[in-house]
Structure 1
C-alpha cells in the first residue's frame, strides 16, 4: 500500500482547514502547493465522505466538519483510493494465471496478503490529528 499523491493532497487540504475557517480552493491550493484541478476533485470526494463541507457561491469555499481525531490515515486512504493494495494481485477481480495453475496456492500472494493486513492495521492506528500535530518520532513501528 502506497500513499498516493491524491491521499497526500487530501491530507494537505485537511491540514489547511484545521482552523475551521471557510477557505476557497484557490487559497488552499496556493497555501498547500496543490494543483487546483486535483484540489477540486479531492475536495468533492472528502465532501462525499463527510470530512468537509463545500459552500457554493461567490463567498463559498470549503470547511472542515469532522474532528481529525476521528479520521485515521487508513480512513483517508480508503476514501481517496478505494482499493489501494500493496500489489495488484490483491485487488478484487485480478486474474493471476500462476495462482490458477498452482493448486496449492501462491506463497508470494499469501505473503502479500499478510503485508497488506499489517499495513492496514498499522495505518488505522494513526489519526490525522496525530499526524498533523504530533512529532513523527512518536510513531514507532511494532
Structure 2
C-alpha cells in the first residue's frame, strides 16, 4: 500500500492546523507555504477533508481553514481514508468474488489480519499526539520525549 500525494498533503494540512489554537482560522496561503503544498491542490484536499467532517472551509478574502474537531478526535486513519478511501491491501479484501480461491485461500487470513493491524495502528494515533511531537522520531523517542505511540515509530 502506498499513500497518494493527496493523503500525504492532507496529513500535513491537518498537522499544521492541529498546532494552532482551537477555532483559529488559518489562511490557505499560510498552510500551503508552511507545509509545502501546492495551493490549488490544497483547495481540493480541503474540500475532501471538509466532506469527511475534519475541516471547516471558509471562503472569501478573509477565509481559510480550521479544524472541525479537536486534534485528539482526529485519527491518522480518518485523514488517510478521507483522501484515499478505505485501506485495502489487495483485491481479495476489496471484493472476495474476484478471487475464486478466497473462501479457502490460506493467505486471505494473513492479508485480513495485516489490514486490521495497520488500520488499528493508524486509528490509535491522533493529531494531538502528532502535533505534540515537534520533530521526526527515531528509535521510539524523539528529543521532546514523545512516546512511540505518539510518534508512530
- Range into which the TM-score falls when normalised by the shorter chain: 0.7 to 0.9
Aligned to 2:93: 90
Q: Is the 8 A contact 1:88 1:94 kept in 2?
A: no
Change (3 A) 1:104 1:78: closer
- From 65, 68, 71, the counterpart of 2:68: 65
Moved over 4 A (4+): none
Which structure is higher in RCO with an 8 Å CA cutoff and minimum separation 6? 1
Q: Does 1:79 align with 2:78?
A: no
Give runs of aligned pairs for residues 13-52 of structure 1, distance below 5 A. 13-18=13-18, 19-20=20-21, 21-52=24-55
TM-score of the pair, normalised by structure 2: 0.76
After TM superposition, give the deviation of residue 64 of structure 1 in Å.
Answer: 1.9
Give runs of aligned pairs for residues 97-136 of structure 1, distance below 5 A. 100=100, 102=101, 105-134=104-133, 136=137
Q: Is the 8 A contact 2:25 2:63 kept in 1?
A: yes
Cα distance in 1 for residues equivalent to 2:96 and 2:32: 36
5+ residue gaps, structure 1, are none
Residue aligned with 1:90, SS? helix
Aligned Cα root-mean-square deviation (Å):
2.3
TM-score of the pair, normalised by structure 1: 0.81
5+ residue gaps, structure 2, are 141-146
Aligned to 1:139: 148
Change (3 A) 1:37 1:111: same
